[in-house]
Amino acid sequence: MANSDSSLIDMKYKQNIDERIETAKTLKNEGNEFYKEKKYRQATGKYHRALLQLKLNMDNVCRPLTDCLQQSPDSFPSYNVPVDYRQTISAIQADCYNNLAACLLHKEDTNYDRIIEYCDLVLAIYPENLKAAFRKCMALYHMKKYEEALEDLQSLSHKHPEDLAIKRYIKLCEAEVRKHNRSIKKTYQEMFNEMNKHSKEVNAVH
């Protein structure tokens, strides 16, 4: 009887996950349609709702999938997301975070820290995801973290040498780094000239 009850719970739980996955897919696809229409606020709402569907446990208490992904299949508790569902769930989740980052890049006065956070969540699941890596570089550039962005862009360029968008941002970052270096050089030169002038005034004979 106990085994029968356990099987029934397991079946209902998996059915619940199946329904949530299908709902998440639908919401993500609806978000994609809004994105294509440049309705970024509506798209963002759909992606967030899709992600909410993917926070699962037996009692429907939210638990981020990223916590589960860090565990090996052997240590993965039976009451958490079953192993055979994790790949599907992680793919949807990565798409949603990636698309949220894309939506934020279209906003004025956007939160670039949040974009980086979303991109890092994608890269934690798929380290070679080009879109997430490039969007992170874009955010770093707009945050004026040119050297950090340039380092990441050059790494991407080695893997994707034909990507024109990467090349363009490399040039933008290099230009800003040169401008920054010239500004520092000018500042030091002005400081040196001022110190030299002061020294002459002090040592002048009156």
- Tell me the per-residue pLDDT of 16-28, one tens digit each, with 9 for 90 and over: 889 999 999 999 9
| 8 Å CB contact between 46 and 27 | yes
| 8 Å CB contact between 28 and 47 | yes
For the chain, list residues with pLDDT below 70: 1-11, 13, 56-81, 183-206
| 8 Å CB contact between 135 and 123 | no
Tell me what pLDDT residue 59 has: 39
Q: Take residue 16 and report the two structure tokens written for it.
A: 């619940």
Give every CB contact of residue 89 below 8 A, 6+ residues apart in sequence. 21, 24, 54, 56, 65, 81
For the entire predicted model, the pTM comes to 0.76
Tell me what pLDDT residue 70 has: 47
Amino acid at 148: E
Give every CB contact of residue 48 below 8 A, 6+ residues apart in sequence. 96, 100
